[in-house]
Amino acid sequence: MGLIAFLKRLFWGTPAPSSDRDEWSANASQWSGTGGGASPTDSLKAELPRSRRRFQVPDVLRYSTTVRRQGLKLRVVSGVPYRFARPFILSPEEFGDLSTDTEIAALGRFGLPVLRTPEDLAQWLGVPLGRVAWLTGRFFENERPQSESEAHYHFHWVKKKTAGYRLIEAPKVLLKSVQTQILRGILDKVPAHPAAHGFVKQRSIRSNAAPHVGSAWVLKLDLTNFYPSVHFSRVVAIFRSLGYSREVAIWLGRLTTSATPSNLTAPDRRENTVWPYRLRHLPQGAPTSPAIANLSAFSLDVRLNGMAAKYNARYTRYADDLTLSGKGKSVPALREIIPFAEWIVRNERFHLNTDKRRVLRTHQRQTVTGIVVNEKLALSRAEFDQLKAILTNCIRLGAASQNRDDHADFASHLRGRIGHFLSVNRERGEKLRVLFQKIKWD
């Protein structure tokens, strides 16, 4: 096989030469059942000790997407097929046309707009094609901004509750408007898994906690660096699975991911803090990120939900918080459920924060996304007493004396906290609302 054929096979999936296939078929026929012999792999498996054999996933947890993509060969054409097409790797005069594999039927399943080329995408967004290419980072050196002023995001470090820092990446005006249209026109039309409750319409922290009420045990797992772990390749694969061509999926992936500037540093000056954000990733702060994060964890939700059903347990996820629970009969199975769930998370290319893993029994206060679920949905007494004391002091001493965190709109802040109580425990929420109405606002 020549060098040209080898490179085509390596980069573009060109089938192996017929001579190679014939040679393989001839060898395989000697090991087939009709030939009467066993294959070398069978004999090797027989010789290997049982401990070294590969772990087999139960059939109930095997998952395949409903939209199956067909393997299409790359179409190489002479001349530019559309603007901003990239030259073919083996010839600067030829171009790879990546717009020919749009799946109209798959797009019609959710009523998504049909976009075949970058021109179609720019027309749908209502933005000139050159501006869209600029937003994708096409004109940056190495397709990465060299400074924060060049980037399309505002970067802000926030200290975590435990330790370390989290990077908030807020898109600038033009990119935010483009991302909002992608969210409304594409992502909002694709449903998340029923077990996902974060950033999904008609679902909330209350609906996330409700399935776990009255459980004998509650297992809480936390995904670390959830957004940064969703890389560009996974985002492109999501748009591809919806039916978009490779070219449009790449452009949509670049419009919804972020590449941090080369000179970005963390407040603690540690490279380990910045390292998770070096690869192009899902930015925390973009309007499209929650929906894409839910779709990236769809397979994770399917597998963990299937595992929970197998053990007569329940599973929900709110953003990066995973919760499993079960009745008394499933308590002995915890020794299997915990390592099995952790293995599934790793297999789906996510990472667990082992320091936040918790197993809560009936004699403990079982909380799921801040809501107590031991016997019924409730908020902690300490939280109620704290908010009640704040409202009482606002009546006695004035609202300004209690705004210790300098909230710009302290009244709206208190309304939000009272509304949270009303959604979970209406009786206690009404008591707080009566106190709020007695406050005299200057």
Question: With 70 as the cut, is the pLDDT of residue 101 above it?
Answer: yes
CA-CA distance, 245 to 253, in Å (whole number)?
A: 12
pLDDT over 80 (residue 49): no
Partner residues linked to 432 by β-bridges? none
Q: For residue 91, what pLDDT is reported? A: 73
Q: How far apart are CA 350 and CA 403, in angstroms?
A: 39
What is the Cα–Cα distance from 400 to 414, expressed in whole angstroms?
12
pLDDT tens across 126-148, in order?
999 999 999 999 998 888 998 98
Residue 396 in this model has a pLDDT that exceeds 90: yes
d(CA 356, CA 223): 9
- At a CB cut-off of 8 Å and minimum separation 6, what does 18 contact? none
Residue 23 pLDDT more than 50?
no
Model confidence at 71, in pLDDT bands (50, 70, 90)? Answer: low
Q: How confident is the model at residue 65 (pLDDT cuts 50, 70, 90)?
A: very low
Q: CB of 221 within 8 A of CB of 322?
A: yes
Q: What is the pLDDT of residues 218-275, one digit of tens each?
A: 999 999 999 999 999 999 999 999 999 999 999 999 999 999 998 899 998 888 899 9
Most confident of 39-53, 279-293, 370-384: 279-293
pLDDT, tens only, 198-213: 999 999 999 999 999 9
pTM of the model: 0.80
How large a percentage of the chain has pLDDT more than 70? 83
Helix (H) or strand (E) holding 360: strand 358-361
% pLDDT > 90, the chain: 67
Answer for the pair 169, 155: CB distance below 8 angstroms, yes or no: yes
Are 255 and 178 in contact by the 8 Å Cβ rule? The answer is yes
Element (H, E) at 289: helix 289-296
Q: Tell me, what's the pLDDT at 3?
A: 63
Q: Name the DSSP class of 354.
A: G
